Amino acid sequence: MRKQKKVKDSYVIMTELVLPNDTNTLHNLMGGRMMHWMDIVSAIAAQKHSNRIVVTASVDNVSFAESIKLGNVVTLEAKVTRAFNSSMEVHIVVYAEDIPSGKKVKSNQAYFTFVAVDQLGNPIDVPEAVPESAEEIEHYEGAMRRRQLRLVLAGRMKPSDADELKTFFDITDETL
């Protein structure tokens, strides 16, 4: 039986201040800097879960709902949603806060996938993730669909083998 760890034990909060060197000519946070911060916070969450070195395997769609301005405080929250054999899906939510005005907005969210590796870079098994809260269970249950979609889009799985996707979209083998 695989070792188990609670999802909440992988939770990480990272805070950054948007400085002039982080911004574009409109004084908004550059998307590349945001991706860098998201990669760091999610890698830490994956490391906490696996107690291993991790490498980024994929990044799902990153949506930019609100621009982040020079001087804003950025809070990134990440935690593992589900662990497979050697891979882990991590959900990241980003908030931007203008402290003088007291305005705080949810700016970004995404799913990153990491693979735990040994000292030689070979994939290594990770503990199973155990969700407890309603939100954790919701992310956990959707993780298999997201994983299969990633694999289909990467050409590593045939659409006809993506059982979770077929169920979600109510697709039968005859429609493929």
Mind listing the pLDDT tens digit for each residue in 52-101? 999 999 998 888 888 999 999 999 999 999 999 999 999 999 999 999 99
Say how far apart CA 156 and CA 57 lie, in whole Å. 13
- Read off the pLDDT of residues 3-54 as tens digits, 9 standing for 90 and up: 999 999 999 999 999 999 999 999 999 999 999 999 999 999 999 999 999 9
Six token digits for residue 55? 């490498």
List of domains in the chain? 4-131 (3.10.129.10)
* Structure letter (DSSP) for residue 154: T
Per-residue b or e along 12-33, where b marks 16 or more CB atoms closer than 10 Å to that residue's CB: bebebebeeebbeeeebbeeeb
**Contacting residues for 105 by C-beta, under 8 A, at least 6 apart:** 65, 66, 95, 96, 97
| pLDDT confidence of residue 167 | 65
Q: Using a cut of 0.75, tell me whether the model's pTM lies above it.
A: yes
- Read off the pLDDT of residues 115-161 as tens digits, 9 standing for 90 and up: 999 999 999 999 999 999 999 999 999 998 888 888 777 787 677 77
Say how far apart CA 134 and CA 116 lie, in whole Å. 27
Six token digits for residue 60? 């799902």
| pLDDT confidence of residue 168 | 60
